[in-house]
Amino acid sequence: MRRVEPEPYPIVASDLTIEYPAHGASSAFVAVRGFTLTLGHGEVLGLLGESGSGKSTLARVLSGADSGSGHGDVRAQISGGQASVQGHPLRRISRRKLARLTFGVGMLSQNAAVTLPASLTVADIVAEPVLERDRRYNQAALETAVATMVDAVRLPLSLLGKYPYELSSGQRQRVALARALVFGPSLLIADEPTAGVDALVRGDIIDLIGELQRERAFSALLISNDLAVLQRVADRIGVMHEGVLVGLGTLDEVFENPWHPYVAELAAALALGTGEPDGQSAPVGTVDPAPEP
């Protein structure tokens, strides 16, 4: 009888260390230290942390965005430990395996809503990842796939011929989400999925991601500095502080008995109903800045 191999976990990281190599006058910078995590099948993990905690660096590395040639840009590199995404080890990954990895990972990057190509229509933006891989893709099949995906993110098909400047911030973010999911990935990595979106519709965006995750049964790593966002959809919460994972578990497990001072501050803020260590009603930080050149 043929043995059936178990499906690899979406993300497995063991003692993972990520750094930005020395560049010009800047010395090397370690962005993530000793990160250990397994993301389960169909699980939604929310990763919370202040500015500079390493969240966005993790997103780029785990999505494959920082793999391969940097072409002059400073890109994060794995310098210690191991990480695999959908069974593909990330250290020294080949171009062929990287292409297979990125096919199965939808990446919703920071500020996706405000960086949509201004010269492309909604239909062209959603179709772009497909045509980047195969310029000869069947046109009728592509149009059907694009329309299906636009409908899935709760946008009217009348917007297919519109340009980004004709859309609201919430509509633009839905277009970016459709683009990230057009291949039907088994893993979504969303970095600040409500950034740049009007406050009144942020809840709608995160709820939409939750609905799509349940409908399509993909796993998800959602990165945010806003705990209220993550609470809506996450099965578990991870807390990053200065490049280190200092809390991991359900919301109750992380905040009812915190072992790290930063998590204890967050827990105290939650007890006061503020969501912020200093007593301000605000997210715990801002998006990770780019490393200093």
Using H for helix, E for strand and C for coil, what is the string for the chain?
A: CCCCCCCCCCEEEEEEEEEECCECCECCEEEEEEEEEEECCCCEEEEEECCCCCHHHHHHHHHCCCCCCCCCCCCCEEEEEEEEECCEECCCCCHHHHHHHHHCEEEECCCHHHCCCCCCCHHHHHHHHHHHHCCCCCHHHHHHHHHHHHHHCCCCHHHCCCCHHHCCHHHHHHHHHHHHHCCCCCEEEEECCCCCCCHHHHHHHHHHHHHHHHHHCCEEEEEECCHHHHHCCCCEEEEEECCEEEEEECHHHHHHCCCCHHHHHHHHHHHHCCCCCCCCCCCCCCCCCCCCC
**Quick check: is 122 in a domain?**
yes
**Quick check: is 111 in a domain?**
yes
pLDDT at residue 17 in the model: 97
| CATH number of the domain where residue 116 is located | 3.40.50.300
The whole-model pTM stands at 0.88
- The structural domain count of the chain equals 1
**Quick check: is 279 in a domain?**
no
| Mean of the per-residue pLDDT values of the chain | 87
Provide the CA 70 distance to its chain's centre, in angstroms. Answer: 20
pLDDT of 110 strictly over 60? yes
pLDDT at residue 281 in the model: 39
Q: Look up tokens 């072992």; give the residue.
A: 259
**% residues pLDDT > 70 (the chain):** 88
Instruction: Give the residue among 171, 189, 193, 169 at the shortest CA–CA distance from 181.
Output: 189
**% residues pLDDT > 90 (the chain):** 64
The answer to whether 277 and 285 have CB atoms below 8 angstroms apart is no
**Quick check: is 293 in a domain?**
no
**Quick check: is 289 in a domain?**
no
Stretch among 121-125, 164-168, 211-215, 279-283 having the lowest mean pLDDT: 279-283
Range of the domain at 143: 11-249
pLDDT per residue as tens digits for the range 181-190: 999 999 999 9
**Quick check: is 278 in a domain?**
no
- pLDDT grade, residue 269 (50/70/90)? confident
